[in-house]
Amino acid sequence: MDKLQKRLSQLRNFNKKPDRKPAADTNPSSSASSEGSKSQSALSSSNVSSGPDSPASGTLPEPFYPVSLGDAASDLPVVLGKIPENLGVPAIPAVGAPEAIDTQDKGTPDKWVPRDPRMVRLTGKHPFNAEAKLSDLYSQGFFTSTNLFFVRNHGAVPEVDIEKAKNWQVEINGLCNNPVSFSVDDLRRTFEVITIPITLVCAGNRRKEQNVVQKSLGFSWGAAGISTALFTGVRLADVLNFVHPQKGAKHVVFEGADDLPNGHYGTSQLASWARDRKRGMLLAWAMNGKALEPDHGFPLRLVVPGQIGGRSVKWLTKIELSSIESQHHLHFHDNKVLPMPVGPDQARAETQWWYDPRYIIRDLNVNSAIATPDHDQVLAATSDSEEATFVLQGYAYAGGGRRVCRVEITLDEGTSWSLAEIKYPEDLFREVTHDDPVYGRIDLTEEDTCFCWCFWSYAVKVADLSKASSIAVRAMDESLALQPRDMYWNATGMMNNWWFRVVIHHLDNNTMKFEHPTMAGAQPGGWMQRLKDLGIDPTKPIFGAASTSDAGNVAPVESANDVPMTKAGVTRKIALSELAEHAGPENPWFVVRGEVYDATEYLSEHPGGPQSITLVAGDDATDDFMAIHSADARRKLAEYHIGTLEASGDAPEKEKDVVEDSAIFLHRKKWKKSALVSVKDVSKDSKVFRFALDNVEQALGLPTGQHVYVRLRRKTEKGGEKVPEGELVQRAYTPLSRETDKGFIDMLVKIYYPSNVFPSGGKMTLGFSELQIGDEVEFKGPIGHFTWLGDGKATIHGKVHTVRQVGLVCAGSGITPILQVLRGVFEDESDTSTEVWVIDVNRFADDILCKDELDVWAKKHPSRLHLRYSLTGKPVPEGWSHSVGRMDGDMMKAYLPRPSDEGIVCICGPPQMEQSGKDALMLFGWQPSTQIVIF
């Protein structure tokens, strides 16, 4: 390593000499082969900039800081690159960097990052995933200003101050002869600095269209998940040649500094691609002549032209040459196009799909969109001239350096097509060269790859538009890949590139109003949702007279709401009186959408326990069932279909009352509203929400170990405000408040913000995060198949058991039912012998919820309470004396009681943990039906 660092120093000094010659010893490692020696010689003599005025000659400015952070960089020179206007290349938009902190970021880990409030947020407050409005993006022209450049963040932005930026290192190791660490300054002074115009596109661009058809695993990008900038840095190929890869280095693995639940973000490239200069991969530190902004990877990132945005790793810290592809979690569990038959639920449950190399995405596919006319734009159809025209405009792009060779427009749903005019602003850079202290060398005169979007236009007669019902566009690249007519729906919703269609509405005042397919994020609007709401399949739109082209050769993808929930051949008519006879727990029937189901055989199999079903016995359960269950669960419901409720009879009352006790708030069959009165932060992503009961003396009425159903209405943007008009969602929770508390109910909720594992986040928990003081939610219950009775007694599935050894396992917010059982045991003065074992698994020590109370109980009852924490994240706090790692059989064997006739184990956590825990307990000899409780 010392020898290599000496070689770096020689190269830097070498670059400062006006008249230089190749050094005699160009091999920085004694272990390098003769082939490697030739490689280093070539790098020294031609790949590193030469001359006193070259970017690498010592005239470069000091490392500069993101402009948006303003005074934070006051001790560094703010140096910006400038391209002379007479070069004739596209101008960079003269837009200042955002200076203010968006109010939506306050209270999040990104509360320090300035952002443009015009960006459309796709995943709520945090993490930040956003795109500009399509009209704003397109109006900027070829280059996108940094503040409107789309952002894909998997978690919090790493906070890099001036000192960290100066000392930032990218470590390069693995199967290479010369492992090394480079600072950003090392890179600039060791290799040729270049600037390339590059378009980045998220693999989820246009995903909202897929999500309307059926919810995918990803959040709803519109058609503006695309942006273009001048990126400045050094060629990845030069850097890799410098470290001299060894034989067998088939892959190059990259890792960023963003800290995520499953480790750092990382992915890989084929080494043959990464070492190919023609592919244009950069280690970049500047964007549009300025330092990278925090959201875009400051201080250093990888930029991969022609491939999906997910390959361009931000906040780059590590590069490894390897014989195998990246083993990072998100390299496998993201950026895949799975086969159409594999639905989201199946993809979550069957992990083998994510490891099949056939489904990985690298190059972008050909795509295009219509920017003009804009959504809701109005055009007058009258004109003094029959020749009056309106110019349709939009963008197109392809992947892998391929050029878009044609763009076609149809006004008759594909019966006939017209060629649009295409402009390639990128080509203007092929005619000039330019050197700049910041940009380095701009020179595409010898390059023929296309790494940028192009713009198309088509002048159509207004008279022709007035006769049409829609406009559609499709593009083709030079490999003759053509955008398809039909959508290829897939579980990740990625690479959506069917024809982009705009509907034309002909209004009474002789004007036309245009409607795009969707609006990004939670914004309402778009013809796809409108058609779906009308019961029309949005994957096969026909807006005017039926097209003569073949339509319908691809089976529609089932939306969750459209899954058939009835059994073929069932014609039985069921009267309301007959339904009422099955309102008890023995053989419960219930109604969904007017159809009757017999759940008797499913009582023991239901994941939420039989009480989840018996609560709705004899009732209409439509709202509850549709709010909770997935398409797969709705499909399964058809197995239990027994008939249709007679139309002549009244529908069963959803909230049929029995006798309501005013001293008790909860009702088993009636939803009760409660207003939010306070919110308290207890960790970075967990909050306690307090709701008021009907009066201060009212008890909740929830036995220890039981749960409540909570439902709320998600909020959507309307008139600039968030209003509760979105999706109705519900799930079961265990309150944090005690059974004896009166006048309120406390809910401890961990907010599951969008991530790569759950790209849309947790619907319910995000609904909680949207609540403001005074907002109402609804409660119903109690529900559950376990109740702690006290004095060593508990009911499990309605039968009383004597319990003297209790094992409790939880993770995260799963602590709430565990805590209720703990209180039930240790607040019971009549119980002095029940012994309890607790395993509480969290990522970091700060994530352990209710730790103070747990520690108090453990200190107060050292012989009866055996408390064990485990942390899965790194680094582990100094002096940590508990476990490290995920829960497994060895941990359960060591820190839970042994099976006994008077023992039980209760588990509450993620479904995977609950299932693996149950499997392990059964191997140890615990009985699943009477001794294992899954909350």
The pLDDT value recorded for residue 604 is: 63
Which of 523, 548, 573 terminates a domain? The answer is 548
Q: What is the dihedral of CA 225, 230, 235, 237, to 10 degrees?
A: 30
Residue 263 lies in a domain: no
Shared domain for 632 and 676, answered yes or no, is no
Strands 251-260 and 226-235 come out as unpaired
- pLDDT beyond 80 at 236: yes
Q: What angle do CA 254, 256, 260 make, to 5 degrees?
A: 120
Q: What is the pLDDT of residues 406-417, one digit of tens each?
A: 999 999 999 999
* Both tokens assigned to 749: 């909720």
* Both tokens assigned to 667: 């009702």
Shared domain for 703 and 634, answered yes or no, is no
Q: What are the backbone dihedrals phi and psi of residue 852, each rounded to the nearest 5 degrees, phi first?
A: -60, -45
- At 42, the pLDDT band (50, 70, 90 cuts) reads very low
Please state, in angstroms and as integers, the Cα–Cα distance from residue 424 to each residue in 2, 399, 627, following that order.
48, 15, 48
- pLDDT beyond 70 at 605: no
Q: How far apart are CA 473 and CA 743, in angstroms?
A: 60
Q: What is the pLDDT of residues 606-636, one digit of tens each?
A: 655 565 677 677 878 876 677 566 666 777 8
What integer is the mean pLDDT of 436-453?
A: 92
The pLDDT value recorded for residue 124 is: 79
Shared domain for 808 and 855, answered yes or no, is yes
Shared domain for 609 and 641, answered yes or no, is yes
What integer is the mean pLDDT of 769-794?
A: 89
Residue 681 lies in a domain: yes
Within a 10 A sphere around the Cβ of 50, how many other Cβ atoms? Answer: 19
266 secondary structure, DSSP code: E
Residue 132 lies in a domain: no
Shared domain for 399 and 420, answered yes or no, is yes
Q: Which one is predicted more confidently, 64 or 858?
A: 858
The pLDDT value recorded for residue 198 is: 98
- Active-site annotation holder among 334, 412, 477, 840: 334
Residue 401 lies in a domain: yes
**Among the ranges given (315-329, 489-503, 652-666), the one the predictor scored with the smallest mean pLDDT:** 652-666
Shared domain for 410 and 422, answered yes or no, is yes
What integer is the mean pLDDT of 80-89?
A: 78
- pLDDT beyond 50 at 899: yes
- pLDDT beyond 70 at 654: no
Q: Which residues contact 837 (CB under 8 A, 6 or more apart)?
A: 805, 806, 807, 808, 866, 868, 895, 896, 897
The pLDDT value recorded for residue 7 is: 42
| Binding-site annotation: residue ranges for Mo-molybdopterin | 202
DSSP 312-378: S-SSEEEEEEESS----HHHHSSSB---TT--HHHHHH-GGGGG-GGGB--BPPPEEEEEESPTT-E
Residue 383 lies in a domain: yes
Q: How far apart are CA 108 and CA 129, in angstroms?
A: 14
Shared domain for 469 and 541, answered yes or no, is yes
Q: What is the pLDDT of residues 351-376, one digit of tens each?
A: 899 999 999 999 999 999 999 999 99
Q: How far apart are CA 307 and CA 202, in angstroms?
A: 9
Residue 556 lies in a domain: no
What integer is the mean pLDDT of 688-714?
A: 90
Mean pLDDT of the chain: 84
- pLDDT beyond 50 at 55: no
How many domains are contained in the chain?
Answer: 4
Shared domain for 420 and 488, answered yes or no, is yes
Which of 645, 662, 686 terminates a domain? The answer is 645
DSSP 759-824: TT--HHHHHHHH--TT-EEEEEEEE-SEEEEETTEEEETTEEEE-SEEEEEEEGGGHHHHHHHHHH
Shared domain for 503 and 611, answered yes or no, is no
Shared domain for 795 and 752, answered yes or no, is no
Q: What is the pLDDT of residues 242-272, one digit of tens each?
A: 999 999 999 999 999 998 888 999 999 999 9
Which of 737, 757, 783 terminates a domain? The answer is 783
Q: Which residues contact 179 (CB under 8 A, 6 or more apart)?
A: 1, 4, 171, 172, 173, 243
Shared domain for 715 and 702, answered yes or no, is yes
What integer is the mean pLDDT of 10-32?
A: 34
Range of the domain at 844: 786-934
* Both tokens assigned to 193: 């600095």
Q: Is 855 part of the annotated catalytic residue set?
A: no
Q: Which one is predicted more confidently, 651 or 673?
A: 673
- Active-site annotation holder among 335, 490, 496, 497: 335
The pLDDT value recorded for residue 63 is: 55
The pLDDT value recorded for residue 477 is: 97
Q: Is 202 part of the annotated catalytic residue set?
A: yes
What integer is the mean pLDDT of 412-425?
A: 96
Q: 0.75 cut: is pTM over it? A: no
Q: How far apart are CA 548 and CA 201, in angstroms?
A: 34
The pLDDT value recorded for residue 608 is: 52
Give the type of residue at 216: S
- Active-site annotation holder among 102, 153, 178, 202: 202
Shared domain for 408 and 521, answered yes or no, is yes
Q: Which residues contact 921 (CB under 8 A, 6 or more apart)?
A: 892, 905, 928, 931, 932
Considering the chain, what percentage of its residues have pLDDT values greater than 70?
85
Q: Is 906 part of the annotated catalytic residue set?
A: no
Please state, in angstroms and as integers, the Cα–Cα distance from residue 14 to each residue in 8, 18, 180, 182, 814, following that order.
10, 9, 19, 17, 61
Q: How far apart are CA 801 and CA 448, in angstroms?
A: 77
* Both tokens assigned to 272: 């043959």
* Both tokens assigned to 717: 């943007």
| Binding-site annotation: residue ranges | 202
Give the residues across from 408 on adjacent strands: 419, 474
Question: The domain that contains 625 carries what CATH number?
Answer: 3.10.120.10
Range picked from 388-397, 729-738, 792-801 for highest mean pLDDT: 388-397
- At 51, the pLDDT band (50, 70, 90 cuts) reads very low
Residue 58 lies in a domain: no
